[in-house]
Structure 1
Amino acid sequence: MSMNAESHAYARVTRRFDTSPERVFDAWLTPELIGRWMFGPAIRDEEIVKLTTDARVGGAFSYVVRRQGEEIDHIGEYREIDRPRRLVFTWAVAPDPIDSSRVVIDIEPLESGCALTLTHELAPEWADYTSRSEAAWTRMLDTLAAMLRQDAP
């Protein structure tokens, strides 16, 4: 599916964190952490089957969860990894193409903590889904913030 920028639908969420940009950034690439804030019982009624990341540009990830007895595989490929400022990856649910949509994470250091802006670029036919996408990412980022507070040294 070729996506031209003019017709994209965008879901955008910004959140402040009272922890370092590095800790926020690393939470996106570490399977043990991903399983505590992006997927699993902390977020919704599901169990984690297997989370794998190949955290390099061109590397892929696969997050397999089980919901109501059904296995769902979230897949994507890392396009930019600029720790701790920017992370870009594609996002899809198998068997859709691995680049069905794109997620851009920008992290800006603040005097205390950092601000993260997430932009999920969806294909035009998913335009009606942007508010659901924003709600889902907001819930995940809230869970991430709570986890990082809990783990604070």
Structure 2
Amino acid sequence: MNNQVLKVERKINAERKSLFQAWLDVKDFSRWFLSGELIGIESVTLDPRPGGKFLINMSLDGKILPHTGEYITIDEPNKLVFTWCSHATDNRNTLVTVTFTDLSDVIIENSKEKSQKPKTLVTLVHEMLTNDIQIKNHNYGWTSILEGLDQWFSK
């Protein structure tokens, strides 16, 4: 079986602890975790602990598309590792690792004073995908999801 790996990154103006928590708080998660313009979130259930399961019911054209997984590693605020299974993985478990890296503080010129704003690099690696279609679809989905996270923090 072919094991393809997808990597998506996004620099976000927020502290990594806040970004990390956004992945584990069900209310927050439901507000930003959107994988495309036409896809909505019907419901989300998270049990954020190693061995805990999650269920994300996405909706598209009146259909419910369940996405399931199990948390493997929760290393706050550095790394999340979880399995990921959906119609887009041919209902096979795949592996997702999300890391949160503090970037050097960016100095912003404000009139006479300088202030520092936290910035975090969010890196998502999705492993065990089996073909180019899965890579393409997940690249679009994860890129949209990280854009949603960025937009949610820039409000």
Counterpart residue identity of residue 10, structure 1: V
Match of 2:14 among 12, 19, 23: 19
Aligned to 1:142: 147
Aligned to 1:120: 126
Counterpart residue identity of residue 101, structure 2: E
Return the structure number with greater strand share: 2
Deviations 1:68-102 (A, max 9, x none): 121111100000000010000000116925xx111
**By how many angstroms is 1:22 displaced?**
0.6
Deviations 1:51-73 (A, max 9, x none): 01000000000011322121111
Q: How many Å separate the matches in 1 of 2:49 and 2:19?
A: 17
In the TM superposition, 1:1-153 aligns within 5 A as: 7-39=2-34, 43-93=36-86, 96-97=91-92, 100-112=93-105, 113-123=119-129, 125-150=130-155
- State, as a whole percentage, how many aligned pairs show the same letter: 28
Counterpart residue identity of residue 67, structure 1: L
Structure 1, unmatched stretches of 5+, are none
SS in 2 for 1:13: strand
Q: How many Å separate the matches in 2 of 1:37 and 1:141?
A: 9
Deviations 1:82-141 (A, max 9, x none): 0010000000116925xx111001111123311111101133x33442133222211111
Deviations 1:17-36 (A, max 9, x none): 11100111111111212222
Per the normalisation by structure 1, the TM-score is: 0.82
Per the normalisation by structure 2, the TM-score is: 0.81
Structure number with greater Rg is 2
Aligned to 2:109: none
Structure 2, unmatched stretches of 5+, are 106-118
Aligned to 2:112: none
Runs of 4 or more, structure 1, over 4 Å off, are: none
Q: How many Å separate the matches in 1 of 2:134 and 2:43?
A: 26
